Amino acid sequence: MSLGAARIWLIAGATASGKSALALRLAAVHGAEIVNADSMQLYADLSILTARPSAEDEARARHHLYGIADAGEAWSVGRWLDAALAAIAEIAARGAPAIVVGGTGLYFRALTRGLAAVPPIAAAARDEAQALYDEIGEAAFRARLAAVDPAAAARINAADRQRLTRAFEVWLATGRALSDWHGATTPHLPARAWRGLVLDPPREALRRRCAARLEAMVAQGALGEVRALMARGLAPSLPAMKAVGLRPLAAHLAGETTLAEALERAAAQTRRFAKRQITWVRHQAPDWPRLAEGGPRGARAAAEALVASGR
């Protein structure tokens, strides 16, 4: 089946929905290359815990931006965007289609709607935001942010210190809400160059997959991966240290919980994370075709849906 005019496919969806497997099937049929759009799969230290494609999978099709960063680094959306656009350009130069796949909604938003051109933020504003957060705590800090940027305060998830302080420091430094900066953007992908798809399996099936994936991760050595990462003593505020399931498994390794308790807590985290991802695609990509199954038959349905969704 021809890819039509579009040479870039975007595949979004919740964790454990089968996005990577679907992308691999499509890549095999159409000679496409795969670009990672999962903020945690960027980090080399988290191969198992983030369900990164295996070496065998990566050998079946070219993969880009997987395991390229150290957990001690803090990759921003902007840094990913630059790397993704470079990868897509390289793929296009080879005459191949690109499949951008992952569960980080902000990455897709940056590609299709643009990224705010916020000016450099002075260290003084950043330090002031951090000090205020430490002084008054998350709830009061969020209330302060809501007074100057209500959209950001409502959008940013609980316990996401990095994005809360970022929004506040932008207002301190520029006198303008980060949400307003985001509203003045230009898409990085031409509208006719890409098509999007959401992999959206039934909720109960997704819950079962999440639970099965956690058990498989432990069997594959996730505890050793967590032990090695925690031994580095990295700052808890780093993105990699916020990986889903990391803290519950680390608590078990520290003797604070049983493995069964850790897995249940990790499963609960995974369900909440999946729910946030589902909410994002529902609101941010309402016109993307939905597909419930990513298996062999689903791959053909995905190709048909993507070709039929001409923009």
What's this model's pTM, rounded to 2 decimal places? Answer: 0.80
For residues 71-94, give the mean pLDDT: 94
Domains for the chain: give ranges and CATH numbers. Answer: 8-115+186-308 (3.40.50.300), 123-183 (1.10.20.140)
Given a contact cutoff of 8 angstroms between Cβ atoms, the answer to whether 186 and 277 are in contact is no
pLDDT in tens, 105-117: 989 989 998 877 7
Kindly indicate the confidence band of residue 74, based on its pLDDT and cuts at 50, 70 and 90: very high
pLDDT in tens, 218-253: 999 999 999 999 999 999 989 999 999 999 999 999
Decide: helix, strand or coil at residue 195.
strand
| pLDDT confidence of residue 309 | 55
Q: Which two tokens stand for residue 104?
A: 């980080």
| Contacts of residue 84, Cβ cutoff 8 Å, sequence gap at least 6 | 35, 37, 64, 65, 100, 107, 111
pLDDT in tens, 96-155: 999 999 999 989 989 998 877 777 889 999 999 999 999 999 999 999 999 999 999 998
| pLDDT confidence of residue 307 | 58
| pLDDT confidence of residue 2 | 36
> What's the length of the chain?
311
Given a contact cutoff of 8 angstroms between Cβ atoms, the answer to whether 84 and 37 are in contact is yes
Q: Which two tokens stand for residue 54?
A: 């295996």
Given a contact cutoff of 8 angstroms between Cβ atoms, the answer to whether 109 and 84 are in contact is no
Helix (H) or strand (E) holding 98: strand 98-101
Q: What angle do CA 14, 138, 172 make, to 5 degrees?
A: 100
**Diameter of the chain by CA atoms?**
59
Decide: helix, strand or coil at residue 197.
strand
For residues 162-173, give the mean pLDDT: 93
Distance separating alpha carbons of residues 9 and 23, to the nearest angstrom: 9
Distance separating alpha carbons of residues 309 and 231, to the nearest angstrom: 48
Q: Which two tokens stand for residue 67?
A: 């395991």
pLDDT in tens, 247-294: 999 999 999 999 999 999 999 999 999 998 998 888 889 999 998 876
